[in-house]
Chain A
Amino acid sequence: MIINTANLNLYYHKFQALKNVNMSIKRNLITGMIGPSGCGKSTLLRIFNRMNDLIEGVRITGSVLIDNDDIYAPVYDLILLRKRVGMVFQRPNAFPLSIFDNIAYGPRVWSISDKKTLTEIVERSLAAVDLFDDLKDDLRRPALSLSAEKQQRLCIARLLAVEPEILLMDEPCSALDPIATGKIEELMLDLKKKYTIIIVTHNMQQAARIADEVGFMLLGELVEFDTAKTVFTNPKDKRTFDYISGRFG
């Protein structure tokens, strides 16, 4: 187990977006979170790196443990958490800087300024997302000149450069075409050897293709959480069955 939540509730002002969520996420697996829009799956994902802290009026109760440390404890170092738990967003959000500077961004934030070390990190990170051969001669090019898929890969590389343990992916393929989606999925399967991945997706086929364990959420509630096989072939809850068989969503 790497992440445990217990009786987790989240409120936006009066509105309760997460209801009593209890789940355990295992190391080096891909955990997929599915459910209709507005069910709270993205909100849950943003719990793990405390991105919800940026939103005014959010209140959280319950506990979230990563390696048995309560990440919402006042003494917990938020900046360090964000290093351990990285995030890939719905739309590629490469910075308007060069390819090199994008990937060196995280290490620089963490006070690495030695040119040689940075170059090594950049090359290693690009290689990890299969971009190095394509881009090794173009590291000074603006990152925004790349295709959407390559930008999303670059964002993943940027994340790997800070050596996280957990990768949060918030619908990382929603801005990509099916071929690019397939490539990113292959990359995720490759990355799970070294990282724990939690992916939010509105695409059930995607969850079925890559996730080891799947959580189904509805109206802020974690309805079912089990191995992908059980959730998709033999769900225990009728609401899960209705959703995966396409009755709503």
Chain B
Amino acid sequence: MKDKIAEKLLLFIAFSAILSLSLITFFIFQQGIPLIFKAGLGNFFSLRWAPTRGGFGILSMVVGSLMVTIGALAVGIPFGLAGAIFLAEFSSSTIQKTLKPVIELLAGIPSVVFGFIGIVILVPFIREIFGGPGFSVLAASIILGIMILPTIVSISYDALLAVPKTYREGSYALGATKWQTVVMVLLPAARSGIVAGIILGMGRAIGETMAVIMIAGNALKIPGSILDSVRTLTSTIALELGYAAGDHRAALFACGSILFLIIIFLNIIATRITNRK
């Protein structure tokens, strides 16, 4: 009897997660999608964002989101992968046991703190060294790159550790050095896990809001260089939702729908790759 109740309860809880996901999905699309058709695709994917005067172009924001995401990957992948390789292959178990939790702790730092560090240290630094406003694609890329490090490092590390010991032995037995073994066997063998980590990091970068608002500058244009300001989809939603009404509000939900689609797409790819053997 008790078992039955527990089972029903757990079933209810499990389904409530699915239920809230579907409600959120339904709500975002229901609020946003009609506007896309009302404004027309030409208007929606144009450069003119003046939502109170009929301009619903999100193109510069899509470009902005993609640019900071690619920038974040350009920073996060080399450092993350190098970190994972060092931890998994070149460090003693003591170092692994100390460093891995520390890197994972990085994921627990609130994004507003990352943004704050960006404003106080990184933005003035970029302004002085490279010129420009400092609030830029570059600043956002570096901060986001650091923010996605824990995801990339820990998933890649796990993927490397999961490579059977026999592959390492086989490689060493053929006279390969440690580095050759890493490059020629371990990375190919761990590839699917590493790619999944990168895609999850990418999802995190594209969805990040607070840190990006604080350091990307939020200028509504397609940036000419990585030293220019950008505005992302997430920034726009967070900055404007407070006072938006009518079609403007619907346009923000449309931004949300696009973001939602991008992230779902990335997650599907990540799952596909992880499941592939």
Which residues of A approach B to under 8 Å, CB–CB?
A: 49, 51, 54, 79-80, 82-83, 86-87, 89, 91, 93, 95-97, 105-106, 108-110, 155, 158-159, 162
Provide the bound-state CA to CA distance between A192 and B170, in Å. 21
Q: Are the C-beta atoms of A95 and B170 separated by less than 8 Å?
A: yes
Q: Given contacts A79-B175, A79-B177, A162-B175, is CB(A105)–CB(B169) below 8 Å?
A: no
Main DSSP-derived SS at the A contact region: helix
Q: Are the C-beta atoms of B188 and A82 separated by less than 8 Å?
A: no
Rounded to whole Å, the gap between the CB of B165 and the closest CB of chain A is 9
Which one of B166, B167, B169 contacts A54 once the chains associate, using CB atoms below 8 Å? B169
Q: Are the C-beta atoms of A105 and B174 separated by less than 8 Å?
A: yes
Interfacial chain B residues near A79, Cβ < 8 Å: 175, 177
Q: Are the C-beta atoms of A82 and B170 separated by less than 8 Å?
A: no
Which residues of B approach A to under 8 Å, CB–CB?
A: 164, 166-167, 169-177, 180, 184-185, 188-189
Shortest 6 CB-CB contacts between residues of A and residues of B: A93-B166, A82-B175, A87-B173, A93-B170, A106-B174, A83-B175
Provide the bound-state CA to CA distance between A80 and B176, in Å. 10
Q: List 5 A-B contacts (CB under 8 A).
A: A51-B173, A54-B172, A96-B189, A109-B180, A158-B170
Q: Are the C-beta atoms of A49 and B171 separated by less than 8 Å?
A: no
Q: Are the C-beta atoms of A109 and B175 separated by less than 8 Å?
A: yes
Rounded to whole Å, the gap between the CB of A44 and the closest CB of chain B is 16
Provide the bound-state CA to CA distance between A215 and B175, in Å. 27
Interface centre among A93, A97, A155, A159, by most B CB within 10 Å? Answer: A93
Provide the bound-state CA to CA distance between A87 and B175, in Å. 10
Interfacial chain B residues near A86, Cβ < 8 Å: 173-174
Rounded to whole Å, the gap between the CB of B172 and the closest CB of chain A is 7
Nearest to B185 among chain A residues (CB) is A95
Rounded to whole Å, the gap between the CB of A76 and the closest CB of chain B is 13
Q: Are the C-beta atoms of A82 and B174 separated by less than 8 Å?
A: yes
Nearest to A90 among chain B residues (CB) is B166
Provide the bound-state CA to CA distance between A105 and B185, in Å. 9
Interface centre among A89, A96, A158, by most B CB within 10 Å? Answer: A96
Q: Are the C-beta atoms of A93 and B167 separated by less than 8 Å?
A: yes
Q: Are the C-beta atoms of B188 and A96 separated by less than 8 Å?
A: yes
Q: Given contacts A96-B189, A97-B188, is CB(A91)–CB(B166) below 8 Å?
A: yes
